Amino acid sequence: MTADPSPFDPPEGALRATASRGAVATVISQGALMLTQIGSVVILSRLLSPEDFGLVAMCTPVIALLMMLQDFGLLAATVQKKGLKAEEVNFLFWINVALSFSLTILLLAASPLIALFYQEPRVGPLIAALSVTIALNGLGAQHGALLIRRMQYVRLGFIQVSGAVTSLAAAALWGWIHPSPWALFGGALVGTVVPTLGMWIGSRWRPGLPRRIEGWRPLLNFGAGVTGFNFANFFSMNVDKIAIGRAFGGEALGYYDRAFKLVLMPSNSIFNPLARVMVPALSRLQDEPDRYRSAYIRVAGLLLFLLLPMMACAAAFADVVIPLAFGQNWDGSVAIFTALGIAGLVQPLNNVAGWLFLSQGRSRDFFHSGLIHAGFAGVAVLAGLPFGLIGVVVAVAIAEYLKLPAIWALTCRSGPIRLGDMLRGVGPLVAAVHLVMGLLWVIKPYVPGPGFVALVQGGLLAYALTALLISLTASGRQTLREGWRLAGERLPLRRRLPADA
């Protein structure tokens, strides 16, 4: 027996079309966001110093932790739950708001202690000011979750791009007038206010008075599992930054933080937003395992083909990428970017694992996967610290490879996707991009042209070589055919070709 349709669901009978349009809208909006992020890297890295970024990077783990705690996994429950009711949405909104404002007050009180931990008095006022973004984010989070559930991705993309552009404009203007870490605070504030207003306008949902509801425990239990993962994932994503900031200071952390964010930029711009499409779509295919498996493997293969050759090229051409992105005074980030870029060839596989846990309602397993991430990250940082900054970087990169089998053994122990499905579906592609990266390193000295031209040639070569290698396998040929088919559906020129002929 299935749950009744929810008034917050997308139209019935059009799941594939809605998901397909949503994927296209998400890719377009994320392309715009990536351009904005690249612009932010190029512009702000020239207006501000590594120490400015390092001071804000000291604040970032704390802000990220509290923003993760503020929704208690309830936004994921809003997206995943079958038959979501209006009173449940209202209940979840007020729980989220209460948590957000409580955490804001807590962070304001704790800001002097955080500055004392880092032995950096300038961090205290920055933390206190940034705490306001937690409360503001909590006011719009439930509205954003409703847009995702309804698969209104065009509207959501417009809101996100508007927030990113206004955030960059505010930070750049502030940095041009008065270069300091406070320029990044100004950008963060504007980048929170604008999307929050957009979510309220775009979702067209307004909360009622707060009231308790029946059946609230399953919602909180699901949210607790997601929060457990988020907490563990927070540790794994930030323990390196905390240790580097404490052990080696703000400048070293500035070099690391900029390289780390640049490596993750393509992945975050593609995989994380497309989770908003895939999780609700897969959630509605739970009772059709064959369709679920086919949809997941096809999409995962296409996205990995889109991302991994780019990562292989970036790692091989790190000495070109860093000066182009940050300027000539950021040479300290080149070796860091190289090591993290190599790890970036497998890191996206952990992103697509999360889609399976959430869409299948396996929040406890999701939490356990977070513990695996956290355990490997903690051991890597402890192992690398005696060898300095580069020691930490190399250890973190190695840990990304070592934890992969454990993550996927857990992911595939139940549900429609088995380990063999993943090995056949994307294994050849992952192996191919590692070979391509090695080939690019060998031929890089012979690639003609100045830095940017050489990088473009390297990127084109990476995609061509990857396509050639995966065409030798059945799954690779399927990925290439699927990509060609989607391109044919979306490019007007190709649709006109038969008629013109």
Mean pLDDT of the chain: 81
Q: Is 6 exposed, middle or buried (0-12, 13-18, 19+ CB in 10 A)?
A: middle
The per-residue pLDDT for 20 is 59
| Structural tokens at position 235 | 């540790």
The per-residue pLDDT for 68 is 67
Nearest to 237 by CA among 382, 373, 334: 373
pLDDT at 34 over 70: yes
| Structural tokens at position 248 | 């080696």
DSSP-assigned letters across all residues of 404-452: HHHHHHHHTTSSS--HHHHHHHHHHHHHHHHHHHHHHHHHGGG--SSHH
Q: Do residues 156 and 148 lie in contact, with contact meaning Cβ atoms separated by under 8 Å?
A: yes
pLDDT at 452 over 70: yes
pLDDT digits (tens, 9 = 90+) for 63-104: 877 776 666 555 665 665 566 667 777 877 888 788 888 888
Helix (H) or strand (E) holding 313: helix 289-316
Answer with the residue of higher pLDDT: 217 or 456.
Answer: 456
pTM: 0.65
Residue type, 90: N
Average pLDDT over residues 285-299: 84
128 CB-near residues (< 8 Å, 6+ apart): 107, 108, 111
pLDDT at 456 over 80: yes
Report the alpha-carbon distance of residue 79 to residue 279 in Å, rounded: 8
The per-residue pLDDT for 3 is 46
| Structural tokens at position 409 | 């053994």
Query: How does residue 1 score in pLDDT terms, banded at 50, 70 and 90?
Result: very low
pLDDT at 268 over 60: yes
Q: Of 67-76, 92-101, 302-311, 479-488, which range is least confident? A: 67-76
- The rounded percent of the chain whose pLDDT value lies above 90 is 19
Report the alpha-carbon distance of residue 373 to residue 44 in Å, rounded: 31
Instruction: Using alpha carbons, list the distances in angstroms from residue 276 to 62, 65, 249, 270.
Output: 25, 21, 37, 11
Q: Of 70-79, 198-207, 273-282, which range is least confident? A: 70-79
pLDDT at 35 over 70: yes
The per-residue pLDDT for 370 is 84
pLDDT digits (tens, 9 = 90+) for 357-392: 878 877 788 888 888 988 898 999 999 999 988 999
Q: Do residues 284 and 406 lie in contact, with contact meaning Cβ atoms separated by under 8 Å?
A: no
Residue type, 57: A
pLDDT digits (tens, 9 = 90+) for 114-136: 888 888 888 889 989 988 888 88
Average pLDDT over residues 206-230: 67
The per-residue pLDDT for 498 is 41
Average pLDDT over residues 400-427: 89
Q: Where are the domains of the chain?
A: 19-214, 222-490
| Structural tokens at position 297 | 């493997």
Query: How does residue 496 score in pLDDT terms, banded at 50, 70 and 90?
Result: very low
User: From the DSSP assignment, how many helices (H) and strands (E) are in the chain?
Assistant: 20, 0
Average pLDDT over residues 301-305: 88
Answer with the residue of higher pLDDT: 58 or 471.
Answer: 471
Q: Do residues 234 and 61 lie in contact, with contact meaning Cβ atoms separated by under 8 Å?
A: yes
Q: Of 215-229, 271-285, 428-442, which range is least confident? A: 215-229
The per-residue pLDDT for 499 is 39
Report the alpha-carbon distance of residue 66 to residue 60 in Å, rounded: 10
pLDDT at 440 over 90: yes
